[in-house]
Amino acid sequence: MSLAAPVVGPKTDSSITGSIRLYNTLTRQKEALVTVKPGHVGMYLCGPTVYAESHIGHMVGPVIFDTIKRYLVYCGYEVTWVVNITDVDDKLIAASRKRGISMFQVATEMTADYLSNLRSLGVTQIDHMPRATDNMEEIILFIEELIQRGFAYASDGDVFFDVARDVEYGQLSNRTLDSQQGEGGEAASKKRSSGDFALWKSAKAGEPAWESPWGLGRPGWHIECSAMSRRILGKTFDIHGGGLDLVFPHHENELAQSRCCHGQPMVRYWMHNGLMRAGSSVGKVGGRATKADTDASSSASTTPATADAPAIASDAPADVSTKISRSKGAGGLADQIEKHTGERIRFFLLRTHYRSTIVFGDEGLEEAGQALNSFYRLISRFERITGVKFFEGVEYPSRRADGDMRLAQAPASDLRQSISALRQSFLEKMDDDFNTGGAVSDLFELARTINRHVDEHKLEETAKRTPEHLASFSLGMSVLHELGAILGLFIKPPKKTGDDDSGKLVEDLMQLLIKLRADARVAKNFATADAIRHGLTALSIGLQDLKEGTTWERT
RNA sequence: GGCGCUGUAGCCAAGUGGCUAAGGCAGUGGAUUGCAAAUCCACCACGCGUGGGUUCGACUCCCACCGGCGCCUCCA
């Protein structure tokens, strides 16, 4: 008999389940999701400029978009998700000079860093990751079209977007041209107006350059997103996202380029995630020492590209936190992941709403980890009682419609009733602008409901178990799996300790101690039993006496 | 200065014009346990920055004020 819950119904049909609403930065309100192509969602997230290591702030967008895609797919949409890599830019050139390696090398290195961070946080749903340097033809073509349509002009090797020609300019960030205070940068003399921005920049000697109708040069910052999104997603697509700090100028300019080039809107829904701040009480951000700029030993472990960047908040008042950014020295996310694990960080991010500001710090991560552990304890409890492996043996519906049907067909019981209600509540929160923070609360309630079921029916005691109660238990765990998967949680077993030789030895030694203590307990020699427990406690090892034996864990 | 966000218990954090304001962490009491851990139960904001206003009724809408933050320059 398999305790794994059956997956009901055909794998998928094209019907969409649920009514999703999302906050649109452009209109500043929540709107119902109506896609360009029925049943399909095209979404584009602005990825990093790969000139230095990524920091935790770079992960907010990918994690929420990864979750959004999982949810949309769960609801029956076919989703194409694009994240670009900007691998040509002034900062990349500067980094390559500083490090004495090619721009290409810098980009390759930092892209690898970015990808590894994404993987650690369970961001696995990206379909396309186009690089700017692989799309030069498309970019140049785009610029030519803009010139032809009269929205851009060439000027001494550079090409600028003519902001004055676009009467709708400023809609996204809600600002008028008059209020622009841009100085125009060093290219000011070549511009018609200070608000004009570069589509193409002429190359100076020794800079990486591509052939173009305007001479050797490279693309401006915004054009690659317009060109690459059009190539992959079309002239108008559904969702465009990024950090709140990209609203202006990046997205405003992207939007202007694309709309003017095509005479139709670029995007239906603009989504922006809140920015992350670092609590200075943390002392470190992204693994960077607070005094990196004065302490040579601490900067030895950082990369040459950012080693002498100023530290964050090193002289700020103790209760102040500031935005995390690389220009302030953040980086070294890999160290944070090593310390806290990717899933914990992901859970930490999803506990709050994506549009709110998050203060990143050890206290919050610890707390998140504490909370996450309770789910893993439930998973162990399930495996112990049923003998079924949660990660390999519990099947769960990958589509909302299937999940609905499965629950409707399950034998009626109080547990099914409450599980069903919690699942419903969870999905309604997700429908409402992907409210993962609210949805997580239902996950906790679900875990508590399942634990209560196990307690009430004494499922820890072999003799008291009934097939009905075990089946209900499994159904609950399957729903936990189903909902967790939407958030990208509980998908893979956490990495095991004890896979190597020393781990094996520790395990054997622990079993020996547990055996000795068990003998002492049988003999009512509690002094010895307690001596073992307390001795292990001092080594940060906890023992749990269960009905079926004793387990141990590092604390 | 312009545009925008935000202020909910010790901490983190959802949320709604009107049932007892989710959930988590921490804490307290209880069940359970030789002890402990885990789990479960109970308790933990008569109030949602402050002061006004609208309303039959606001934490939720409006105004003012105070505090925190972001963008306006590169930034996820």
B64 C1' – A515 CA distance, angstroms? 71
B3 C1' – A169 CA distance, angstroms? 14
**Model confidence pLDDT, tens digit, residues A77-115:** 999 999 999 999 999 999 999 999 999 999 999 999 999
Residues in A 290-349 whose C-beta is less than 7 A from nucleic strand B are 320-327
Of A56-60, A289-293, A484-488, give the lowest mean pLDDT range.
Answer: A289-293
B55 C1' – A364 CA distance, angstroms? 41
A446 class by beta-carbon count within 10 Å (0-12 exposed, 13-18 middle, 19+ buried): buried
The pTM of the full predicted model, rounded to 2 decimals, is: 0.89
Q: Are A448 and A439 spatial neighbours (Cβ–Cβ below 8 Å)?
A: no
Band the pLDDT of A126: cuts 50, 70, 90: very high
A555 touches strand B (CB under 7 A): no
Tell me the average pLDDT of chain A. 86
> What is the interface pTM, i.e. ipTM, of the complex?
0.94
Q: Which nucleotides of B are covered by protein (CB under 7 A)?
A: 1-6, 11-16, 22-26, 33-41, 68-76
Q: Domains (ranges, CATH) in chain A?
A: 35-304+313-360 (3.40.50.620), 364-486 (1.20.120.640), 501-554 (no CATH)
A548 touches strand B (CB under 7 A): no
**Model confidence pLDDT, tens digit, residues A390-413:** 999 999 999 999 999 999 999 999
A326 class by beta-carbon count within 10 Å (0-12 exposed, 13-18 middle, 19+ buried): buried
A353 touches strand B (CB under 7 A): yes
Torsion angle in degrees (nearest 10) through CA of A36, A40, A46, A48: -160
Residue A201 reports pLDDT greater than 60: yes
For the four alpha carbons of A427, A65, A353 and A115, in that order, the dihedral sign comes to: positive
Band the pLDDT of A180: cuts 50, 70, 90: low
**Model confidence pLDDT, tens digit, residues A301-332:** 333 333 333 333 333 333 446 778 776 666 67
Residue A489 reports pLDDT greater than 90: yes
Band the pLDDT of A505: cuts 50, 70, 90: confident
**Model confidence pLDDT, tens digit, residues A152-168:** 999 999 999 999 999 89
Determine the distance from the C-alpha atom of residue A213 to the mean position of all C-alpha atoms in its chain, rounded to a whole number: 40
Q: Which pLDDT score, from 0 to 100, does residue A305 have?
A: 31
The span from the CA of A369 to the CA of A371, in Å, is: 5
B45 C1' – A432 CA distance, angstroms? 26
Q: Are A475 and A3 spatial neighbours (Cβ–Cβ below 8 Å)?
A: no
Specify which residue's alpha carbon is closest to the C1' of nucleotide B34: A526
